[in-house]
Amino acid sequence: MSHPASIKKIPVADLRPGMYIHDVNCSWLDHPFVSSSFAVRDEKRVREIKDLGIREVYIDTLHGADVADAITEEEVQQETGELLVTIACEGPAEIHPQPLRVEVERARRLHSEANHIVRGMIQDVRLGKQIELEQVEPLVENMVDSIFRNQDALLPLARLKDHDNYTFQHSVSVCALLVSFGRGLKLDRQIIKELGIGGLLHDVGKAKVPDEILNKPAKLTDAEFTKMKSHVVQSILVLQNMPGISRIALDVAAQHHERYDGSGYPNQLKGEQISLYGRMGAIVDVYDAITSDRVYHKGMPPTAALGRLLEWSSHHFDPDLVKTYVKCLGIYPTGSLVRMESGRLGVVLEQNAENMMKPRVNVIYHAEFRRYLQPEILDLSWEGCRDRITGHEDYAAWNIDPRRWLPA
């Protein structure tokens, strides 16, 4: 068991054989290793990490060599936590939704329909069939309408995935999150719709990648990692054959693996060589991936994921866009599990347009006594409320099923 003080962040330039990597410090989408933690046994492994465009890693000094004057993981988390609070104090994106109860059931039906449609599309691509824009336009239009009415109904559903259906469920999530992001940036509604179409279709090329590579619970070989990355070019080829597809949707699919520092693929685009829509797609794609459970990867809580995006925006993402994305979702995104000052745990039900630190929360569990409570909905913005959020929690750590507690 590592001690928090033994986990340190170092530049990859300082990485040496004999060190133990605690975390490669990038999305699992961007590296071929089965785990983010492993011993660095030789210079070949150091070169592999550098060639991936990784700039900084976390090492565990209890299991390997140390570096002088490195900052600890605790210090990094404190810094990103303070930055999240600073962003919150700047005020959220301007969102004044309709009542949540009005939208919930409609959002559930829409989410189920979207998963069904995207599953069918992926199967069609595998069979060599062409996707018709008419298959997806009405669906995305409905998703845009739902998120404009109240995004807190649809977005929490985006977190609910299972291992076998991850590829198409991830596409539905990216669609919904991009629509929310576009709304937060106050883009034109037609542009937001095209963003959503791009999100829904951004990974169709994965239909051309064998399942044994997509779901391999071990380190990918160089050839397998190259095949995995080829899904971007395959997506481009599929979409270019769709009559009526927009440049915006194509940019999302073609550029969501490009990175702001030029370390991405397939074209190593850098900075504003990447379109606004590609930069947005990269942020959303990684956020949804790192908050999702896979066979070989444990998803992290949304608040922790937002902190990681802020950390990585020093290299991989547009920093200003990441800050806007945080405002769109809230520091404690809807559906998150949070710890209250009272020692209770609650599920975030709805954001507060006036104060991101004070959402509506359904209090369900007592951490000290480790037992469920009679659910109690708290509006933390009410001046008579005597409780407040002190941090985020992980559902799995408490063996709590999030599906049970989302609005019905």
Question: Can you give the pLDDT at residue 97?
Answer: 65
Q: Is the pLDDT of residue 1 over 70?
A: no
319 and 344 share a domain?
no
Residue 95 lies in a domain: no
Q: Is the pLDDT of residue 62 over 70?
A: yes
Q: Is the pLDDT of residue 48 over 70?
A: yes
Q: Is the pLDDT of residue 2 over 70?
A: no
Question: Can you give the pLDDT at residue 176?
Answer: 97
Q: Is the pLDDT of residue 316 over 90?
A: yes
Residue 373 lies in a domain: yes
Question: Can you give the pLDDT at residue 95?
Answer: 56
Question: Can you give the pLDDT at residue 206?
Answer: 94
What DSSP designation does 360 have? Answer: E
365 and 296 share a domain?
no
pLDDT band at 91 (very low <50, low <70, confident <90, very high): low
Domain edge (last residue) among 285, 302, 329: 329
In CATH, what number is assigned to the domain containing residue 251? 1.10.3210.10
322 and 356 share a domain?
no
Question: Can you give the pLDDT at residue 354?
Answer: 83
367 and 303 share a domain?
no
Q: Which residues contact 278 (CB under 8 A, 6 or more apart)?
A: 251, 252, 254, 255, 256, 258, 269
106 and 227 share a domain?
yes
Least confident of 28-32, 197-201, 290-294: 28-32
Q: Is the pLDDT of residue 336 over 60?
A: yes
Number of structural domains (the chain) is 3
State the amino acid at position 2 in one-letter form: S
Residue 75 lies in a domain: no
Question: Can you give the pLDDT at residue 57?
Answer: 94
pLDDT band at 24 (very low <50, low <70, confident <90, very high): very high
325 and 344 share a domain?
no
Q: Tens of pLDDT along 242-301? A: 999 999 999 999 999 999 999 999 999 999 999 999 999 999 999 999 999 877 778 899
Question: Mean pLDDT over residues 208-213, rounded?
Answer: 91
Q: Which residues contact 396 (CB under 8 A, 6 or more apart)?
A: 298
Residue 170 lies in a domain: yes
216 and 319 share a domain?
yes
Please give the mean pLDDT across all residues of the chain. Answer: 91
Domain extent at residue 61: 4-69
What single string gives the DSSP state of each residue in 293-308?
-BTTBPPPPHHHHHHH
Residue 306 lies in a domain: yes
Contact in structure between 347 and 336 (CB atoms under 8 Å): yes
Question: Can you give the pLDDT at residue 94?
Answer: 54
Q: Is the pLDDT of residue 82 over 90?
A: no
Domain edge (last residue) among 290, 307, 329: 329
Q: Is the pLDDT of residue 34 over 90?
A: no
Question: Mean pLDDT over residues 143-171, rounded?
Answer: 89
176 and 263 share a domain?
yes
Higher pLDDT: 313 or 28? It is 313
Residue 19 lies in a domain: yes
318 and 262 share a domain?
yes
Burial of 302 (0-12, 13-18, 19+ CB in 10 A): buried
Question: Can you give the pLDDT at residue 408?
Answer: 58
276 and 165 share a domain?
yes
155 and 255 share a domain?
yes
Q: Is the pLDDT of residue 215 over 90?
A: no
380 and 311 share a domain?
no
Question: Mean pLDDT over residues 337-356, rounded?
Answer: 93
Calculate the CA 236 to chain-centre distance: 22
Residue 38 lies in a domain: yes
Residue 92 lies in a domain: no
What single string gives the DSSP state of each residue in 118-159?
HHHHHHHHHTTPPPPHHHHHHHHHHHHHHHHHHHHHHGGGGG
Domain edge (last residue) among 308, 329, 350: 329
